Amino acid sequence: MWLLGVALTLSAGAAPPAPAAAPDTQPPAGRPRRASFIVIQCDSLGYLDLSCNGQKKFTTPNLDRMAAAGLLFTNFDARGADGPAARAALLLGRDPARANAWLTPDDQTVAQRLKADGYHTGLIGEWNFGGPETGNAPWQKGFDEFAGYLTPEDAENYYAPFMWRYAPLSILNTNTLKFETYVGREGLPANANGKQGMYIPDLYAKAALAFIKSNHPRKDNHYQPFFLWLNHPVPRPNQAEAARTGDGLQVPSDAPFSEEAWPRPERNKAAMITRLDADIGRLLDALQTKDLSNNVAVFFTSATLPRKTGGLDPAFFPSVAATNDVRLPMIAWWPLHFPAGRVSTLHWTPGNFLATAAQIAMTEYPTNEVEPSVLRALYGLPLTNAPAKN
């Protein structure tokens, strides 16, 4: 069944939205409309890979725009955790230095908590915590929809020949005339047999826009809020490609840096980040076009520091200020809620996200089990307790 060929949307073939309530039908009583969330977590993107943080050799104008309209954090880090542990910290609200790079059956993710309180949840990108046979697949850990990869090896391939999909009510059974769930690997013919016709980050960008279009809060879905985690690979090198060619930075073109006298991997890295920046710009524009920007909080960050691997040298641009600098980029954007144009030195980690999101969502969370919320700091107020342990 070919779904991705039509358009990679997390709801591409889903049943049409329920009709709007009849005039004499009252929607369910509930709390005030709650904010939606988008978390964009890149991989191997350094603090100084963004021009708003001091990068001089190339620019990231859309992320700069996001920072100018939101909060730019100069002291966010993952406490030295690797990618899987940093992502687990975000999902579970744990200190990254103490987080395991796996999930247990009892672990409750931020997606599960938000879904249980009425959110529609989606994941685009990498999932390192197990497939269906483990009980830890994304759809078993709180995500209503999923498009991406279940192993880092597959996620590193920017021209992968397939993509995992979990799409509820996306296939019409012509016998029963009912929509059924699709789950499995979908082939990408444009990338079959080593071809490079479809760049996976481009699919991610299309999927994110389609998810927003399909799931934005509106009258016919009773203004249901959403949570979207875009777990982005850029600019992590593909290690298999690096072993084969010496350059793991896969990108359709190194433009606009083709004439720069830089090593090829560095030109490719800059091109990858430039493409990512353009995708972020389109996402922000989509939110503003749909008049959603005032009720969608967007967080942009990276799970890991740049590494000297795949043909890259983090000192080339540089990506970090010093060899002992463990800071990661972090921008928080929520117009009319987070103060615009402010730079914060608050020290916090991915582990603080769950409690922060729960407070924004006005939902309960186990305060004795997770890292504390930093919501007051996001509003420009002093914290009443330290957000992260030293």
**Domain assignment present for 2:** no
| Confidence band of 9 (pLDDT split at 50, 70, 90) | very low
- The count of structural domains within the chain is 1
**Domain assignment present for 267:** yes
Q: Give the residue among 188, 306, 328, 170 at the shortest CA–CA distance from 248.
A: 306
User: Where residue 115 sits, what CATH number does that domain have?
Assistant: 3.40.720.10
**Domain assignment present for 193:** no
**Domain assignment present for 190:** no
Tell me the per-residue pLDDT of 60-91, one tens digit each, with 9 for 90 and over. Answer: 999 999 999 999 999 999 998 889 999 999 99
Q: For residue 147, give the amino acid letter.
A: A
Tell me the per-residue pLDDT of 231-268, one tens digit each, with 9 for 90 and over. Answer: 999 999 999 999 999 999 999 999 999 999 999 999 99
**Domain assignment present for 151:** yes
Domain that holds residue 342: 39-158+202-378
**Domain assignment present for 389:** no
Structure tokens at 159: 């021209």
pLDDT for the residue 22: 40
- Give the largest Cα separation in the chain, rounded: 68
**Domain assignment present for 169:** no
Considering only residues 375 and 100, tell me which one the structure prediction assigns the higher pLDDT. Answer: 375
Question: Any residues with CB less than 8 A from the CB of 343 and at least 6 apart, and which?
Answer: 71, 72, 73, 74
